[in-house]
């Protein structure tokens, strides 16, 4: 099984530290607001990775942290006139609701920064003792970037080249403008914890170093996150963790691709910023998940109305193949499974894996017409799709799922179908056609069979 490593910039066999087990840490949310579509991209990408590794037989320990103390959290709580605990509790509940709707499985552990203050203080103290950090006169503690020889290896750039032109906080208390904060002295009215350097709170980067090593050990298999975290966050994590422990931090670094909206970077200033719940009020969650899975996890993905329409049509093809098929037959079609796994073994190549699903759907439709083993094929389709977190509904549930957005109720649809059947019995075919066409204009497509007339919602 080959996995791309951001650190080495190449694919290599995935070799667990402990045979049969994978320990993975993924940077999670800073819970000051609702999760946005970029978060959904990362949530779904690592959910697919986790599902597939487990399907391969690995015992996966998946840790995804929560940052629940941070400058943005403090500012938002003050702005809202609520406590930090009230804000973060509300946002964590909303995040869990969003991920459940997107069929994202919960991680094994979800540590919160505020639960690991003692571990953070211990790591900062170790860095000071080893000469990699220093307490400044203003009560802050800073990391000496130039002290760590490997700084820049994740991004493959020298320190000065990497930080040239970058936004560097100018603090007179710093020994070097490039140094970053590990511990922040508390300002009046802020949440604070006692420390050897006075009351304060942790910096963002040190939180993840402490939580990951506490949950998974000094050296673990995979560290993941969004595309914007390679610098400075992950670069700083490596510097802190390896300086503190003297060990390699993570063996493999994985980063999901960026999400763009109508081919532009998602930004509140551009007016194209969407939270997950904004999107799910309008679109079926599985359609959104399909769009996110349909691109390779490292590729940029474009969120646009046309892309969502195509995603729904593609899902409809899969559900239509399953529609009317007995799914109780066991999955015996190993030739599809072999190709699916070959694609996923190549750095989780979901586009190639999904091509296998559509070939299965085509063969199911052929088997329906020719009396073949449609049931076994359909069971295999559902089993393989589940490894991507897809085909979670029954066919009838999904194919009628967009009905709530229509200007017609299910009872009204059934009444029109009955009226059409009555017209056909009376040989009034013009009236029958008129009813069919009227329903089609409202997005209702009738499907006649020997068992009767069914219907689906046309999308796009």
Q: Rounded distance, CA 410 to CA 232, Å?
A: 53
Maximum CA extent, the chain:
93
Whether the CB-CB separation of 424 and 432 falls below 8 Å is answered with: yes
DSSP state at residue 201: E
Q: Are 311 and 291 in contact (CB under 8 A)?
A: yes
Angle at 217 between CA 214 and CA 223, to 5 degrees: 95
Is 82 one of the annotated binding-site residues? Answer: no
Is 289 in a helix, a strand, or coil? helix
User: Cα–Cα distance between 100 and 95 in angstroms, integer?
Assistant: 9
Per-residue burial over 218-256, b = 16 or more CB atoms within 10 Å of its CB, e = otherwise: ebbbbbbbbbebbebbbbbbbbbbbbbbeeebbbbbbbb
**CA distance to 45, 182, 225, 229, 264, per residue, from 38 (Å):** 11, 27, 11, 12, 13
Annotated ligand binding at 233? The verdict is yes
How far does CA 46 lie from the centroid of its chain?
6
Characterize the bridge pairing of strands 200-202 and 220-225: unpaired
What are the residues whose beta carbons fall under 8 Å from the beta carbon of 369, sequence distance 6 or more? none
27 is in an annotated binding site: yes
Distance between CA atoms of residues 195 and 394, nearest Å: 55
φ, ψ for residue 228, nearest 5 deg: -90, 5
Closest among 344, 348, 159, 128 to 243, alpha carbons compared: 128
How far is the CA of 255 from the CAs of 27, 41, 45, 110, 228, in angstroms?
A: 10, 11, 9, 19, 9
Would the annotation count 268 as a binding residue?
A: yes
Helices (H), 226-333: 235-245, 276-280, 285-294, 305-322
SS3 65: strand
Residue 205 assigned to a binding site: no
Give the up-direction half-sphere exposure of residue 327: CA atoms within 13 A in the CB hemisphere: 15
Mention every residue, 6+ apart, whose C-beta is less than 8 A from residue 404: none
Q: Residues annotated in the binding site, as ranges?
A: 27, 208, 233, 237, 268
Q: Residues annotated in the binding site for ATP, as ranges?
A: 268
Q: Residues annotated in the binding site for Zn(2+), as ranges?
A: 27, 208, 233, 237
């Amino acid at each position: 099984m080959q996995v791309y490593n951001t650190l080495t910039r190449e694919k290599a066999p995935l070799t667990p530290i402990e045979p049969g087990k994978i320990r993975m840490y993924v940077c999670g949310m800073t819970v000051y607001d609702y999760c946005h579509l970029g978060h959904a991209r990362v949530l779904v990408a690592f959910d697919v990775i986790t599902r597939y590794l487990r399907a391969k037989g690995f015992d996966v320990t998946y840790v995804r942290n929560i940052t629940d103390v941070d400058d943005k959290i403090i500012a938002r709580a003050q702005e809202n006139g609520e406590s930090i605990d009230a804000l973060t509790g509300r946002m964590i509940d909303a995040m869990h609701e969003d991920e459940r709707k997107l069929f994202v499985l919960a991680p094994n552990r979800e540590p919160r920064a505020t639960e690991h203050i003692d571990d953070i203080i211990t790591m900062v103290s170790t860095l000071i003792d080893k000469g990699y950090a220093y307490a400044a006169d203003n009560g802050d503690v800073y990391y000496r970037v130039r002290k760590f020889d490997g700084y820049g290896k994740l991004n493959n750039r020298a320190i000065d080249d990497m930080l040239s032109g970058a936004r560097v906080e100018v603090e007179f208390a710093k020994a070097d403008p490039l140094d970053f904060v590990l511990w922040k002295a508390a300002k009046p009215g802020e949440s604070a914890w006692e420390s050897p350097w006075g009351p304060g709170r942790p910096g963002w980067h040190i939180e993840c170093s402490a939580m990951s090593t506490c949950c998974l050990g000094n050296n673990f298999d995979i560290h993941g996150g969004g595309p914007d975290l390679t610098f400075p966050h992950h670069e700083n994590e490596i510097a802190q963790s390896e300086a503190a422990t003297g060990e390699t931090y993570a063996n493999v670094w994985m980063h999901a691709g960026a999400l763009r909206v109508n081919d532009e970077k998602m930004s509140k200033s551009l007016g194209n910023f969407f939270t997950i719940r904004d999107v799910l009020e309008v679109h079926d969650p599985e359609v959104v998940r399909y769009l996110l899975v349909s691109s390779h996890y490292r590729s940029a993905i474009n969120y646009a109305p046309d892309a969502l329409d195509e995603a729904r049509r593609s899902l409809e093809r899969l559900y239509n193949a399953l529609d009317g098929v007995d799914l109780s037959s066991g999955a015996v079609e190993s030739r599809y499974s072999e190709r699916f796994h070959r694609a996923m073994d190549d750095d989780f190549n979901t586009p190639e894996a999904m091509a296998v699903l559509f070939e299965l759907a085509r063969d199911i439709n052929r088997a329906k017409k020719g009396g073949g083993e449609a049931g076994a094929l359909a069971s295999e389709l559902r089993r393989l799709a589940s490894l991507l977190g897809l085909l979670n509904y029954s066919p009838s549930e999904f194919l009628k799922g967009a009905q709530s957005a229509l200007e017609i109720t299910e009872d009204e649809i059934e009444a029109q179908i009955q009226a059409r059947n009555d017209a056909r019995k009376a040989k009034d075919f013009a009236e029958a056609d008129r009813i069919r066409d009227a329903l089609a204009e409202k997005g209702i497509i009738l499907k006649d069979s020997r068992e009767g007339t069914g219907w689906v919602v046309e999308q796009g």
